[in-house]
Amino acid sequence: MAFVTGVRTGADARWLRRLRLGRDTAATLVCFAHAGGAAGYWQPLAAALPPHVEVLAVQYPGRQDRHREPAVEDLHRLAETITGVLTDDPRLTGAPWAFLGHSMGASVAYETAALLSRNADDGPGALFVSGRRAPSRPRRSTESFPDDHALLDKVRRLGGTDARLLDDADVQELILPALRADYRAVAAYTGTPGAPLSCPVVALAGDGDTEASVDDVAAWAQHTTGTFELRVFKGGHFFLADQWAAVARLVGSRLPGGPA
């Protein structure tokens, strides 16, 4: 597996959060969260990964400490901004790097990787996509959310957020603007066609995921000329929450410094 070195992160510290500094870092993993999600979602993975992996997570605008900023309602525009963050500042150099995205975050990671590969010939050494249909399998759905109650019910059903938080009026006031924007962005998203990537792609699927079936996740194979691997876990759309240790073993073994 060939890994690109010399990734540069942006001077704007709002965008990238270091969840863990690797000991004798052999690889850096950049994580992209789901719709409504934030950088801290990846903390359990960061804690479970081998010590040689440094973990960064993208903090999208419109949530947590960035809640006063408008969320981005176009995944391509979001990917363009993140691409700039990753290429405009040389503070982080030398470590091979990879992307991991879950659900909406998989699409953002993919589009960011495609931009880096196309514009700078400096894409990630590997892309891990989780719980997301391949761009060649767009969702044909009439699902709509006439009000915030319907949107919150959807999030409750998926199980990615503690239901007690979703029932708290103050929490709802904080999360709903970003949640609305993210779901609009996902609904409008059309993926970059073809196979713009040459890096290995590892796709993760939940065997009971109603948002992204195993077949739809397997179709990510069409979007790289590099190697492809599909791994299926027990669980629904947020299978990661019950599988952090297993996912960490998988990701860690595919990054430099992991088991041969």
Q: Do 123 and 113 contact (CB within 8 A), yes or no?
A: yes
Type of residue numbered 61: P
Classify residue 172 as exposed, middle or buried by CB count within 10 Å of its CB (0-12, 13-18, 19+).
middle
Does the pLDDT at position 41 exceed 50? yes
CA angle (150 as vertex; 146, 154 as ends), nearest 5: 130
| pLDDT number for residue 26 | 85
Res 146: pLDDT: 67
The residues near 140 (Cβ < 8 Å, ≥ 6 apart) are none
> Which sign does the torsion angle of CA 79, 180, 157, 189 carry?
negative
Say which of 34, 102, 223, 237 is annotated catalytic. 237
CATH topology of domain 16-254: Rossmann fold (3.40.50)
Residue 10's pLDDT is what? 41
Identify the active-site residue in 34, 76, 103, 223.
Answer: 103
Q: Out of 16-30, 71-85, 168-182, 229-243, pick the least confident.
A: 168-182
Reply yes or no on whether 103 is catalytic. Answer: yes
DSSP 31: E
- pLDDT single digits (tens) 113-126: 999 888 766 789 99
Give pLDDT tens digits for 187-240. Answer: 999 998 777 899 999 999 999 999 999 999 999 999 999 999 999 999 999 999
Enumerate the domain spans of the chain.
16-254
Could you tell me if 233 and 102 are in contact, meaning their C-beta atoms sit under 8 angstroms apart? no
